[in-house]
Chain A
Amino acid sequence: MTDYLYDGTFEGLLTCIYEHYYSGRADGIFRQDEYQRSLLCDCCVVETNPVKARKVYEAIECKISPFDLRRMYRAFRSCVEGRETMILKYAVLGFRVGSRISSLHGEQAVYDVQQAENKVATEIDKFRGIVRFSVLGDGEKKIYYAPVEPDNDMIEFIAEHFSNRFRDQAFVIHDLKRAKAVISARGEWYISDFEKEKLPPLDPDEEKFRELWRLYFDTIAIRERTNPKCQAHFLPKRYRNYLTEMNDTGR
């Protein structure tokens, strides 16, 4: 039994898949910094190699399908434990059966990756709605800032949506858990490390609109139909920390 350890990048994972074929079978792939050694398994650290990674990347795209490549990448971005091993199994099966793999819903390997992908997809849909911007800065320069804490590492998947929608505003979507952010202006965006300290103060008008929004939110609910269980089903408590309408103060 051999486990491969990688550095946490997608290229690293692809390199591990390469080595699985060319230097010996991997039973599992894990992040180097999170790996717990066990007595039964050997492990070896796989050095990320862009050439090998590219080879695997292109092989997946051509021999399996672009759809499956996308699926594997999204699954990789999920928070599911053991996702790297799932992706390895998916790739192995994919190289055997080709593009039909995504139709073989009964296969455990397919099911696992599909579930992981689904987690990310659900959260993408959710966060298109529940990102809340606050206007920062005084005078001419205004920045729209939104703190988020998603379960999965997915802010890159909502970047295009927001950057197109708010083409004429400069904004930051800050993933506090991972200390990174989507930074966008004029319809273009990039991902960068980010720290909260750099931020300017709130716009003077900001509190007024927050107050109006809270007022609207409280008014629109029909009292006779109150149903907190239903609300919590759609809007779990863990997502509520940065929702303007759920919090009276603070950024």
Chain B
Amino acid sequence: MDVYEKLKVLADSAKFDVSCTSSGVARRNNGRVGSAVDAGVCHTWTADGRCVSLLKVLFSNDCCYDCQYCVNRRTADCVRATFEPDELAGLTIEFYRRNYIEGLFLSSAVIRSPDGTAEKILECLRTLRKKYGFAGYIHAKILPQVSPELIYAIGLEADRLSINAEFPTMKGFRLLTPQKDPQNVFEPMRQITNQLIEHKALKGPGLMFKGQDLNNADNYLSASSPQIRTIRRNIDAKIAEKSAADEILSGDAVKTKKPETSRDLIRTEEPVQTGYTAVGSRRNRKEIFAPAGQSTQMIIGAAGETDRQVLAATEKIYRTFKMKRVYFSAYVPVVSSPLLPDVFSAPPLGREHRLYQADWLLRFYGFDADEIVGEDHPFLDMDLDPKISWALRNMQIFPIEVNTATMDELLRIPGVGNLSALRIVRQRKYKSVTYEDLKKIGVVLKRAKHFLTCSGKFYGDRRMDPEVIRGDVLQMKDGEQMSMFSSGRTGAPELQDGAETGPRIRIANPSSRINIRKEAATK
């Protein structure tokens, strides 16, 4: 099999891995070739509009597992291919030198055993770093059940590590990945978080832990720490019906508690040094082990989970493991199985988009998952972004005065982002912010005008009625003629019906449609 065919097969198999970012670490060229940019660099955009940053391939697609949703499952009839470590390293370098890519994203099917596969991956990464002197970005996928020593060794080469959480609910996990044990997913996550703390390199997601030093014993996750126990309890109980997210939600609010075990316990778990130094041997102390942290991904729309379950699991992962990102992947029906959505159903792209917006609210805007999706509204509104949906449910706190509000309050205003909030705070030190200024600052007034005042003056709809604002915002967003007058009078049901006749509406999950209706009806 020549390199063309291998690349085709192994890139095709990797395309459903979502994460392709090259962000999280800034590094000058400390090898022969390569560097890393903190914000990451996108090199091109494919026909589906996704950015290509890294050369994203599987090392092999010759899998011994039989996960139902996966194209590479053992029982699938497809071409199998495996790279040679040096072959892939050489290809990466040639692509990199032409500036096609920002680095390598290497995942793999489990060839015979997880450790055997991880060793191959490690060999490839070492070739890249040592033989070719590559100082660019590497994202390595950790397979479940890989031994801690190998995870550590891979972390010494890679910038970012990730383990797929696969499903936000335990039910989905058990149903669709019969040979994997959820514990094997959480255990490496815990190890990576701990190791980052040891290297004083744990930064946390977005602005969630801004200004806090996470690198202390309090954040250490021992095997018996409360967070892990919650997850483990789910696993031990083997509750097939109840989801992990539900279990997590039923417990106390997520708090970081001091682990009960001493550090000695963890010390014993610490893997052996491999005695190998990377080309980046001048990496400073904080950059030794996976300096760009870890991430994970979940498949959306394959196992009938609610947005509430997805976001609760996401928040839990952020608070517990403090990992940089959780990615969502709209399930693309590639496989025909009685357990999965129909092969002809469209991937829930709209839902994925809204979930990412909600994810941003968690990481950068100080929202809790419970605020975004509650028990009475377990799905996100497909027509409006989650922030304005939240605002419409909480009209009592609006309008907010931009000249006196705190940064946190400003961030709650729909249409005000992190940059515009910062600019408001900066300007008002010298000069009060007027309504005209807001536009220049970058505030989206179409949405924001209903939720703020400038020096006491309000510019939105005086009725402050959520339904009126909803109609107003939707009308402008989609160019659909909806008289503000009629929408204000007739209220939700008619607005909903009117909206559904329009061409734009796309509700990915039939159950979410029902829930939106229910929600509207209860209002």
List the interface of chain A (C-beta within 8 A of B). 97, 100, 103-106, 108, 110-111, 125, 128-135, 144, 146, 161-162, 164-169, 187, 209, 211-213, 215-217, 219-231, 233-235, 243-245
Contacts and interface: CB of A to CB of B under 8 A. Distances in A.
B94 interface: yes
A220 B52 contact: yes
Contacts of B478: none
A131 B52 contact: no
Contacts of B485: none
A166 B12 CA distance: 29
A166 B97 contact: yes
B35 A164 contact: yes
Interface in B3-62: 3-4, 7-8, 11-12, 14-16, 28-29, 32-35, 37, 39, 41-53, 55-56
Contact of A222 (B48, B437, B440): B48
Contacts of B441: 105-106
A83 to B, nearest CB: 17
Contact of B430 (A103, A213, A226): A103
A7 to B, nearest CB: 32
A47 B32 CA distance: 47
A164 B31 CA distance: 11
B7 A224 contact: no
Nearest to B332: A224
A43 to B, nearest CB: 31
A222 B15 contact: yes
15 contacts: A103-B426, A110-B440, A125-B39, A133-B97, A134-B98, A146-B99, A215-B4, A215-B11, A220-B15, A220-B56, A223-B48, A224-B332, A224-B347, A225-B330, A225-B349
Contacts of B434: 106
A150 to B, nearest CB: 15
Contacts of A227: 47-49
A105 B440 contact: yes
Given A129-B53, A219-B8, A221-B48, 10 more contacts: A135-B97, A135-B98, A164-B28, A167-B29, A168-B32, A220-B12, A221-B47, A228-B47, A233-B49, A234-B51
B100 interface: yes
Residue with the highest number of chain B CB atoms closer than 10 Å, among A144, A167, A220: A220
Interface of B: 3-4, 7-8, 11-12, 14-16, 28-29, 32-35, 37, 39, 41-53, 55-56, 91, 94-95, 97-100, 102, 136, 330, 332-333, 346-347, 349, 423, 426-427, 429-431, 433-434, 436-437, 440-441
B48 A144 contact: no
A190 to B, nearest CB: 19
A125 B102 CA distance: 13
A85 to B, nearest CB: 18
B32 A167 contact: yes
A211 B52 CA distance: 17
Contact of B11 (A132, A220, A234): A220
B29 A225 contact: no
Contacts of A131: 99
Residue with the highest number of chain A CB atoms closer than 10 Å, among B7, B43, B56, B347: B43
B100 A244 contact: yes
Contacts of A130: 43-44
A209 B11 contact: no
Contact of B98 (A165, A209, A220, A229): A209
A93 B434 CA distance: 19
B44 A105 contact: no
A189 B461 CA distance: 57
Contacts of B347: 224-225
A111 B423 CA distance: 12
A211 to B, nearest CB: 7
A219 B97 contact: no
Contact of A243 (B44, B51, B330, B423): B44
Contacts of A125: 39, 41
Contact of A221 (B15, B94, B437): B15
Given A104-B427, A106-B431, A106-B441, A212 B48 contact: no
Given A104-B430, A133-B97, A219-B12, A212 B7 contact: yes
A215 B8 contact: yes
Contact of B41 (A129, A217, A230): A129
Contacts of B95: 209, 212-213, 216
A165 B426 contact: no
A104 B29 CA distance: 38
A147 to B, nearest CB: 13
B211 to A, nearest CB: 22
Given A103-B429, A220-B11, A144 B51 contact: no
A235 B330 CA distance: 23
B437 to A, nearest CB: 3
A217 B437 CA distance: 43
A158 to B, nearest CB: 10
Given A106-B440, A234-B51, A222 B332 contact: yes
